[in-house]
Amino acid sequence: MIKINEKVPDFEAKAFYKEDEHKIKLSDYSGKWVVLIFYPGDFTFVCPTELEEAAQHYHDFQELKAEVISISTDSVHTHKAWHDTSPAIQKVEYPMASDLGGHIARLFGVYIEQGEDMGRALRGTFIIDPDGVLKTIEINNNDVGRNTGETLRKLKAAQYVREHGGSLVCPASWEPGEETLKPGLDLVGKI
């Protein structure tokens, strides 16, 4: 499993994107922030609420020079069928990658190896920096949905820290414009 501050190995997947099937590679997004959203499966209950919420904020991610990629172990054809029939998923403009076999999910430690949900992914969100280095990990049980606003907040915080070379860090619940911390010192003021 890839860990925080490790370079993510390049991977390739088929994806449903812009009304068609495409091959995408992580390296296609070199120089950009990447937000990976693993989810258990198409035509489920919680998943469309999460993917729709990410779709509603997709332009916010793009303004931050970040790409969103959702990933499940379903086929590209299943992604297309879901997109064609679900009003929530029709809003998705970002790539919906297919991880048949779970190779990418295993790399990120979200593949379910046994039990009732075997072969599916846990709900995992990963933020990768422009150098391909993993900066955040969030993994939930499949019955607990995520908050896209919090993912955006974490992305902004990771970008802020990167822009300041790690000399300033972000405290709990930090939002842009709020006070930051200098490691070893107190709050340094609003930036």
Catalytic center residues: 47
Q: Which two tokens stand for residue 168?
A: 């300033």
d(CA 77, CA 18): 14
B/e letters for 103-138, b = 16+ CB within 10 Å, e = fewer, are ebbebbbbbbeeeeeebbbbbbbbbbbeebebbbbe
